[in-house]
Amino acid sequence: MPGPVRLTPPGAPAPRGTHRIVIGMAAGVGKTCRALSDLRERLERGEDAVIGVLETHGRRETLEAAEGLPVVPRRAIRHGHVTLEELDVPGLITRRPRVVLVDELAHTNAPGSAAGKRWQDVEALRDAGIDVLSTLNVQHLESLNDVVARLTGVRVRERVPDHVLHDADELVLVDLPPEDLRARLRAGKVYGPEKIEQALANFFTVPNLTALREIALRHVAQAVELDVPDGQPAAHEVIVVAMAAEATAARLIRRGGQLAERLRGELHVVSVRPGRLTQEQSRLLDTCREITQALGGHFELLDGTGDVGMTLVAYARRVHATQIVMGETSRSRWAELFHGDIIKTVLRGTQGTDVHVISRD
């Protein structure tokens, strides 16, 4: 039975597809099975619903949940002597199903793919008017990267910009108590026998899972609260993150991003250009620009010919900053004596503005 037809006036672009994200605290809580169940319901309602990409990891429950559902074959991509398979975005756009399931939103595509990340494939499908069901573990969100690393000791490499979560039309949280997830792990429902003990002792400890569960609950609640009825923030907050081209910069930016999200404000990240940039500093600044953009913020490199502190004060005044995030200074006492204390300068020059000084640890 064919699915409902979308009526679009001749020559008018198709309405953008919706995005439903099924999110959970970790692998094994049941996100993919929930997404498959949603897909099956839409298929039974007569909609043209298909699987675009499904990562079963050999799990029996996932395979059973997908049984009988229509699948669009993946696109083969040749990389060296190896053939890899990824989501067939052009094929799906040509076929134009009503809804497609795209598992593991944070996945990095094979070299040679049109888009580097799977979440970018999802955006292309939505632009073509196709609804998407996807899955995501909370630790893959860009703004939570430092928090998750500190709590669990694991630095997640594959990350999704926060705006993808906030642009979604619907979030579905799949929650599971930590001990229940550990029981599923012991029963072999998450990983193979050779990985169970290692997983239980490392990432899937009760403290780690408890922390991740709390993060997932809190973050989804915050994302829902951001969707106020009139679409306007309750108050106009402007958060300025002042950073140097140092290894701690990414942590500062993510902290500022979390603050901007909670306050529903604008995020500005600025750095005062030193006299001469080293290759490592240039690389760090490029990374910081990418992280800022992933968090929906504005990145700017300021002229460094004047006093650094006063340059930051001038910028904060220009954008009407309400919050400033800075890191502890890395200057020596001699440097502060001759060039001044940047933090004190900012505090004196931005009275009435909240200044957050983040520990270098």
> pLDDT tens digit string along 110-122?
998 999 999 999 9
Say whether pLDDT at 93 is over 80: yes
Say whether pLDDT at 221 is over 50: yes
Q: Do residue 32 and residue 145 come from a single domain?
A: yes
User: What's the pLDDT score for residue 230?
Assistant: 47
Say whether pLDDT at 218 is over 70: yes
Is 319 among the domain residues?
Answer: yes
Instruction: Give the C-alpha separation, 267 to 258, whole Å.
Output: 10
The contacts of residue 217 (CB under 8 Å, 6+ apart) are 173, 175
Instruction: Give the C-alpha separation, 290 to 212, whole Å.
Output: 25
Q: Do residue 246 and residue 202 come from a single domain?
A: no
Is 177 among the domain residues?
Answer: yes
Q: Do residue 29 and residue 122 come from a single domain?
A: yes
> Residue 166: which domain range?
19-225
Q: Do residue 129 and residue 215 come from a single domain?
A: yes
Is 13 among the domain residues?
Answer: no
Q: Do residue 181 and residue 304 come from a single domain?
A: no
Q: Do residue 246 and residue 220 come from a single domain?
A: no
User: What's the pLDDT score for residue 126?
Assistant: 97
Q: Which residue has the higher pLDDT, 330 or 91?
A: 91
Q: Do residue 217 and residue 254 come from a single domain?
A: no
Instruction: Give the C-alpha separation, 49 to 125, whole Å.
Output: 14
In 226-327, which residue ranges form alpha helices assigned H by DSSP?
A: 249-263, 279-294, 308-318
Identity of the amino acid at 249: A
Residue 11: pLDDT band with limits 50, 70, 90: low
Distances (CA, A) of 347 to 266, 272, 312, 352: 21, 17, 11, 9
> What one-character-per-residue DSSP string does 151-211 give?
HHS----S-B-HHHHHH-SEEEEE---HHHHHHHHHTTSSS-HHHHHHHHHTTT-HHHHHH
Q: Do residue 163 and residue 277 come from a single domain?
A: no
pLDDT tens, position by position, 258-280? 888 888 889 999 999 877 888 88
Are β-strands 82-86 and 99-102 bridged in parallel, bridged antiparallel, or unpaired? unpaired
* The model's pTM: 0.68
**Boundary-marking domain end, from 225, 248, 264:** 225
Task: Give me the number of domains the chain comprises.
Answer: 2
Is 76 among the domain residues?
Answer: yes
Q: What is the mean pLDDT of residues 162-190?
A: 91
Residue 329: pLDDT band with limits 50, 70, 90: low
